[in-house]
Structure 1
Amino acid sequence: MCGITGWVSFERDLREERPTVETMTMTMARRGPDDEGIWVTEHAALGHRRLAIIDLPGGRQPMSVRTPDGDVTLVYSGETYNFPELRNELLRRGHVLRTTSDTEVVLHGYLEWGEAVAEHLNGMFAFAIWDGRHNKLVMIRDRMGVKPLFYYPTPDGVLFGSEPKAILANPLAETAVGLDGLRELFAFVRTPGLAIWKGMREVEPGTVIRVDRNGLRIDRYWSLRTAPHLDDRETSVAHVRDLLDDIVRRQLVADVPRCVLLSGGLDSSALTAIAAGQLSGTGETLRSFAVDFAGQAENFVATALRATPDTPYVHDVAKQSGTDHEDIVLDSAALADPETRANIIRARDTPMGLGDMDASLYLLFSAIRRHSTVALSGESADEVFGGYQQFFSPKVQQADTFPWLASLTGESPRRTFLNQEFGRALDLGRYIQDSYDAAVATIERLDGESDFEYRMRRISHLYLTRFVRVLLDRKDRTSMAVGLEVRVPFCDHRLVEYVYNAPWALKTYDGREKSLLRGATADVLPQSVVERTKSPYPSTQDPAYATTLRNSARDVLADAANPVFDIIDREGLRRAVEADTPQAMPLARRAIERALDLSLWLDIYRPTITTS
C-alpha cells in the first residue's frame, strides 16, 4: 500500500522540476513511511511513497522495464490478490521476473496485455504507467474504487496523485472550491468523477485514463451490470461461502503482521471466524481489535439505530474463534482533541467527517498500527447484502431520491445548517434530484423483473456505486494517515456481482437483513451474533464529549471574523450550543461537529471559495 503522484507535461522539461515532484511526493509520507522514490524524464515525472507489505526488499518503486522502444515505468498503490497466478502465467509467456512482488506482476501484465491488464487483476489498486514507447500516461483504478486516485488536467498535460494534497502541492493547481465542490460537501451524494477541488477530477472506479499529446481519453473496463440469477437458495448460500473462503485466503497474504477489525456485528465477525480458522491450520493465531469508549457501559442508552453495545458480542466472537484480542478503549478527551480533528481533516483534505466516529476510527487505527500493518475490515457488507434499515422501509423503497436521504424527516439538517445566502446559491435540493436522476438512468432492468424487485435493485445499485464510495474513501484516507493498510474482502468484485443480481426475496429469505451472509457463515459464529440485529459503527455517549464540543464551538462563535460564517448560520450554531433537550441534542451535536470541521478546514487549507 502506498501513495503515488506524478506530472506529465509535453511542453516543458520536467527534469528541471524535480524539487516540485519531491514536494508532491512528500505530502504522502504517511501513506508510505517505509521508502520514497522519484523517477523523472523529459516529459514525465513519477513519485512514490511505499508502505512495504509484500516482498519487502524487492518491491521498490517507481519500477521500470527497459524496452528497445523506450522505458515503461510504474507507480502503484494497492494489492493484487491473484498475483501468484498471474505471475505464473507471465513466466509461461516468457517474461523474466526478478522479484516476488505484485508490483512487478502488474508492470509485466501491462507489457503483456496493455491497458487490458486491469481486467486480469483481482484486488484494490490505483496505478499510473508512463509508457515511453508511445509517450503516454495510463491511469487505472480498481472496480469498486477502494484505492483513491485524482487528476488535474493542465494546458499541456496532467497532474495526478493518490490524494488531492499531492496535486495541490504543485503551483499549477489552484486551491479553490467552486459551486459543485461545495454542493458535494453538503449534499452527501458522491457524484462519480467529481472532486471537491476546482479543476480536479477523480479517476472513476473501473476506468482507464490515457493522456498523450492528443489530450485525455477515458474508457470504462468494468461496471455493475444486471444479469439473471439462476441459483436456488441452497446453491446461493454455498457459493457465497465458497467466495468468502477464497477471498479471505487471498487477502491474508502479506509479509507483515495482520489483524482483523472486529465490531461484534455479522460482517466483521464472519471475516474474523473464517480468517481465524484458516490461520489456525498453519499454527498461527489471528489478532483482533475492537474500539470501545471509556464509560460506555455506564452511559449506553439503546436507540432505534443502536439497540445493543458491541463489546459483549466482540468477546463472544474472540472467544469462539480463539483470536488474540484487544479492546482499544478511547476517552472523550482524545476524541475531542483539536489535534485529532486536524489530523483527520489533513488526511481527507475536506471537512466531510462524521464527528466522533471519524475521531475514534483514526485513534483506533493509530493504536492498531503499533502491532499490525494490515487489517481486514467488514466495510461494504451492508451495501452488498442489504443491511441498512432503509432497505426495509416502505417510505424509502418508494422514494425517488437517494435511500440514505429519503429517511430524513423535515428539512435536512445539512441544509438548515447553512446560512440563507449560501444555501440559495447551492440549491442543494435541485442538485440532489439531478444527481439521483442521472444515477438511476444507468441502472439496467432485468427482463420480467417486477416493479418491487427493480426498486430494490435500484436501491442496491445506489448504495454500491455512490454511498459505499464515501465509506471506502473515509477508511482508506484515515487508515493510510497512520500507515495502516485496510483490506475490504466484501468489495471483491466477484462477490459484489453475484449478490447484486440475487433477487431481494433471496437476500431476505429468513425475513431479516443480510440473509445470504448469515446463512453462509452461521456455522462458524456464536449464536448471539447470528441473532443480533444490525448495529452501526459505535458512537460515544459520554456527556463529557458533548461538553467539550460546546466549549470549542463557543470559541468559534466568539471570533466575529471567522470565515466559517460565510457558509454556516451563526445563530443556528448558537442554538446548537444551547440545545438542552434529548430530542434536539443529537442534531445539535452533529451541527457542532460539522461547524468545527469546517472552521478548521478553512484555517488549514485557506481555499478560495467561489459561488458564481
Structure 2
Amino acid sequence: MCGITGWVAYRHDLTTERDAVAAMTETMVCRGPDAGGSWFAQHAALGHRRLSVIDIDGGAQPMVASRDGEVEAVITYSGEAYNFKELRAELIRRGHEFSTSSDTEVVLRSYLEWGAGLVDRLNGMYAFAIWDPRSEELLLVRDRLGIKPLYYYPTADGVLFGSEPKAILANPLAKAVIGAEGLAEALSFVKTPEVAILDGMYEVRPGSLVRVSRTGLQKSTYWKLEAREHTDDLETTISTVRELLDDIVARQLISDVPLCTLLSGGLDSSALTALAAKSLDVPVRSFSVDFAGYTENFQADEFRPSPDAPFVADVAEHVAADHTNIVLNNADLLDDGARKAVLRARDLPISMGDMDISLYLLFQEIRKRSTVALSGESADEVFGGYAWFHNEKAVNAPTFPWLAMHVMGNGDRPDFLREGVVSKLDIGGYVQQRYAEAIAEAPKLPGESGKEARMREVSYLHLTRFVNSLLDRKDRMSMAVGLEVRVPFCDHRLVEYVFNAPWAMKTFDGREKSLLRAATADVLPQSVVDRVKSPYPSTQDTGYDAALHERVSTLLHAGTSRAFELVDPDKTRSLLDRGSSIAARRPLEVILTLDGWLSDYDVRVEL
C-alpha cells in the first residue's frame, strides 16, 4: 500500500516546483515508509510513497512506460490488484514485456493496452493516477467500493490530487476552508460520495474515474450496484457465497511480506481467519484488541451483548492460530501523542473517539510483526448484520437507518452547537437532502415491492454511504502506521451477488447474516456460530469518561479554544453535567476533535 499525490498545471512549468511536490509527497511518509519518488514534466508532476508488499526489490514509483525513448504513460499507484497474475499473462500474450513482477506494472501496461477500459478488468482495492503525455491527460481512478481514498482539488489551470487531504493542503494553492455544507457533512455521519468536507476539495467517487485535460475535468462511472433477478435457490446461494469467499481469501493472502488477520471473535473476522488458516501452509497469525478489565467487568447493552475475548480464544484454539491479544488501558487511550496521530491521520473533523484511538494503537502493535492484515470490515453491510437492519422502526424511518437508531448520536441536530451555527447548518435538512439523493439513486427490480424493495434500499444506503465511513477510518488508522489492511468482503463479485439475494434469503434462519453463517459454519467453533452480533468494542471504564470531562472542562475554562467559535459554552456545561455513558461521550469527543483540527490545520470557518 502506498500514498500518491500530484499536480497538473497547463499554464505553468512544474519542473520549477520540485520543492512544492516534495512537500506534498512528504506528508504521506506514514503511508509509504519504505521508499519515495517523483516524476516531472512541464505540465505534470507525480509523487509517490511506497509500502513494499509485492515485488519488494522492483516496482519503484512513479513508474514510467516508454517506447523508442518516448514516454507513453506514467503511473503513481496505491493498492493491490488481486488478479494481476492473470492480467499479466494476458498482456504477455498480447506482446507486452515486463521488467518487474509488480502489480503496478500490470496496471500501467493494462492502460497502454485498453486505455481507461482497464478498470473493467481489475479486481482489487486501488487508487491511482496515470499521466499520458501523448494526450496531456490525467486519469484518476478509484476502486469500486472506495476502499482506497483519493482526493482532488481543481485549480485555475489544472488539478492537485492526493491519497489524503494533507497532501493537497501542502501545496500553497490549496486553502483549508470549511463552510456550512462541509461542517454539516462532518457532523451528520452520512459520508456523501464525492463530498470532501473542505471547500474546493472533492473525493473521487467509488467506482468512478476523473479525466483532466486542457478542456477541463470530466467525471464518469465505471461500476455501480445494479438490481438483478436472483434465480439461485438457497442451497446454491450458500454454496456460491462459500466458493466466492474461498477464492477471495486465497487471492488476498498473496504477499511478499508477513501477513495476519484481525480477529474479534465475531462471525466476520472468525470466518476470514478460519478460511485463511485452511489456505495457508503455516499457522495463521491473528491479532485482537481488548481493554484492561473489560471482560471481567463487562456490562451488556442493546448493541454489545457480549465481550470479545472468550470467542477470540475459541477461534484461535479451533484453527490453531498464532494469536496475540493487544490489551490497552486508559493511559494508552488518553495518550496525547496517540490522539494527535489519530487527528493527523483523519485530516478532517470526524471522530469515533476511543474506537479510533484503540484501532490506531492496535494497528501500531500489529505493524511490529506484520505488514498486511485481513479485516472482516463490510460484512455487516453486505450481509445485513447491524441491529437496525432488523429493527422495523429504523428500517421504515424516512432517514438513514443508523441515524434513526441514534447509534452515532443525534443526526438531526447536535446539541452542543451555538444557535447561530445550528440555523446556518440546518443539519436536519442536510441529512434529509442527502437521504433523498441516495434513495433516488438506489436501483430497483421491476415488480419488487414491500419489504423486499425497502431492504434493497437499506442495503444500498449501507453499501454506498455507511461502509465508506468505516472503510475510510480503517484506511486512515492503518496507513498512519504503514499497515496494509485488506477487506475481502468488499470484493465486488461477492457484493454484487449478495446484494441481489432476496432479504428473506439473507435472514432465512431468523438471524442476522444468515448466508455468511451458513456458508462458513463448517470451519467455525459452535460458540461463534451461535454468537449474536457485537460491534467493535468501546471501553466501559468510567475513568476514561472522567478524563474526557476534565479535558473539555479545561478547554471551556481556558477560553482560547477555537472549538467555541462553533460550540456553545453553556450547552457544553450541560453536557458535562450529564454523567458518563458512551452516548454522552461522543459529543465531548467531537468537541475535542474540533478544537484540535481547527487549530492544527489553521482552518478558516466560513458559514
- TM-score (norm. length: structure 1): 0.97
Residue equivalent to 1:397: 395
Residue in 2 that maps onto 1:470: 469
1:308 touches 1:535 (CA, 8 Å); kept in 2?
yes
User: Is residue 2:296 matched to residue 1:298?
Assistant: yes
Q: Which digits, 9 at most, give the CA deviation of each residue in 1:194-246, with x for residues without a partner?
A: 10111001011111111110111111100011101000000000000000000
CA contact (8 A) 1:13 1:43 kept: yes
Deviation sequence 1:105-126 (CA, Å, 0-9, x none): 0000000000010110000000
Partner in structure 1 of residue 597 of structure 2: 601
**Does the residue aligned with 2:558 lie in a helix, a strand or coil?**
coil
Within-5 A mapping of 1:19-418:
19-67=19-67, 70-279=71-280, 282=281, 284-408=282-406, 412=411, 415-418=414-417
How far 1:413 sits from its partner (Å)?
7.8
Asked whether the 8 Å contact 2:314–2:525 carries over to 1, the reply is: yes
Write out per-residue CA displacement over residues 393-427 of structure 1, whole angstroms, 9 at most, x where no aligned residue.
11122111111111239965852121211111000
| Equivalent residues of 1:233, 1:506 under 8 A apart | yes
Task: Give the CA deviation at 1:163.
Answer: 0.3
Over 3 Å counting, the alpha-carbon distance change for 1:298 and 1:413 in structure 2 is: farther
**C-alpha distance in 2 between matches for 1:411 and 1:93:** 56
Cα RMSD over matched residues?
1.2
CA offset digits 1:118-172 (Å, max 9, x no partner): 1100000000000011111011110000000000000100000000000000000
In the aligned structure 1, how far is the partner of 2:406 from the partner of 2:330?
28
Where structure 1 has 5 or more consecutive residues not aligned to the other structure, the ranges are none
Q: Take 2:591 and 2:88, find their aligned partners in 1: how far apart are those partners?
A: 50
One-letter code aligned to 1:326: T
Equivalent position amino acid for 1:227 in 2: R
- Matches of 1:71 and 1:114, distance apart in 2: 12
Q: Tell whether the 8 Å contact from 1:422 to 1:566 is kept in structure 2 after alignment.
A: no
Structure-1 separation of matches of 2:205 and 2:586: 30
Q: Percent identity?
A: 58
Matched, 1:556 2:555: yes
- Distance (Å, rounded) in 2 between the aligned partners of 1:202 and 1:236: 35
CA contact (8 A) 1:7 1:46 kept: yes
| Structure 1 residues 481-525: Cα deviation after superposition (integer angstroms, max 9, x where no partner) | 000000000000000000000000000000000000000000000
With 32-41 and 183-192 compared, the bigger mean Cα shift is at 183-192
Quote how far apart the aligned CAs of 1:350 are: 1.1
CA distance in 1, matches of 2:591, 2:77: 36
Greater mean deviation of Cα atoms: 588-597 or 259-268: 588-597
Alignment of 1:405-554 (within 5 A): 405-408=403-406, 412=411, 415-554=414-553
**SS of the counterpart of 1:147?**
coil
Tell me, in whole angstroms, the C-alpha distance in 1 between the residues paired with 2:62 and 2:402.
41
8 A contact 1:306–1:535 mirrored in 2: yes
Q: Are 1:586 and 2:582 matched, yes or no? A: yes
Task: Verify the 8 A CA contact 1:328 1:364 in the aligned structure 2.
Answer: yes
Shifted more, 237-246 versus 587-596: the winner is 587-596
Tell me how far 1:443 sits from its aligned partner.
1.3
Aligned residues: 605
Return the offset for 1:277: 0.9
Would you say the 8 A contact 1:294–1:329 is kept in 2?
yes
Distance 2:105 2:443 in 1: 37
CA deviation map 1:343-402 (0-9, x unaligned): 111001012111111110000000000000000000000000000111111112211111
- 2:98 aligns to what SS in structure 1? coil
- Which amino acid in the other structure matches residue 288 of structure 1? S
| Match of residue 14 from structure 2 | 14
The amino acid across from 1:27 in the alignment is T
Q: Which amino acid aligns with 1:563?
A: R
CA contact (8 A) 1:140 1:208 kept: yes
Secondary structure of the corresponding residue to residue 415 of structure 1: coil
Shift of 1:248: 0.3
SS in structure 2 of the partner of residue 597 of structure 1: helix
SS of the equivalent of 1:219 reads: strand
Q: Which secondary structure state, in structure 1, belongs to the residue aligned with residue 110 of structure 2? A: helix
Identify the range of structure 1 (443-452 vs 115-124) with the bigger mean alpha-carbon deviation.
443-452
Shift of 1:592: 1.3
- Residues of 1 paired with 2:213 and 2:170: CA distance? 23
The one-letter amino acid of 1:513's match is: E
Question: What do residues 258-315 of structure 1 show as CA deviations (whole Å, max 9, x unaligned)?
Answer: 0000000000000000001110xx2x11100000001112321111111110000000
Amino acid corresponding to residue 274 of structure 1 in structure 2: L
8 Å CA contact retained: 1:413, 1:587: no
Give the secondary structure class of the aligned counterpart of 2:295: helix
- Structure-2 change in CA distance of 1:157 and 1:526 (3 Å): same
Out of 408-417 and 361-370, give the one that drifted further.
408-417
Gaps of 5+ in 2: none
Separation (CA, whole Å) in 2 of partners of 1:297 and 1:384: 29
- Superposed CA deviations along residues 71-91 of structure 1, whole A, max 9, x for unmatched, are 310000000000000000000
Residue pair 1:189, 1:466 contacting (<8 A) in 2 also:
yes
Distance 1:328 1:414, change over 3 A: farther
* Conservation of the 8 A alpha-carbon contact between 2:411 and 2:427: no
Q: Which amino acid aligns with 2:41?
A: T
TM-score by length of 2: 0.98
Q: Please give the secondary structure, in 2, of the residue aligned with 1:208.
A: strand
Give the AA of the match of 1:120: R
Asked if 1 retains the 8 angstrom alpha-carbon contact of 2:152 and 2:168, the reply is yes
Q: For the residues of structure 1 that align with 2:71 and 2:271, how far apart are their CA atoms?
A: 48
Deviation, 1:70, is: 3.8
Report the alpha carbon displacement of residue 576 of structure 1 after superposing the two structures with TM: 2.3
Query: Deviations for 1:546-572, whole angstroms, at most 9, x for unmatched residues?
Result: 121122112111121322111112122
Q: Supply the distance in 1 between the matched residues of 2:463 and 2:168 (Cα, whole angstroms).
A: 28
Residue 296 of structure 1 aligns to a residue whose secondary structure is coil
Does the CA-based 8 Å contact 1:258-1:372 persist in structure 2? yes
In the aligned structure 2, how far is the partner of 1:297 from the partner of 1:229?
42
**Which letter maps to 1:6?**
G
Q: Quote how far apart the aligned CAs of 1:538 are.
A: 0.4
- C-alpha contact (below 8 Å) 2:413/2:422 kept by paired residues: no
Once residues 433 and 320 of structure 1 are traced to their aligned partners in structure 2, the CA distance between those partners, rounded to angstroms, is 47
8 Å Cα contact 2:72/2:132 also seen in 1: yes
Secondary structure class of the residue paired with 1:359: helix
Q: Distance in 2 between matches of 1:149 and 1:18?
A: 22
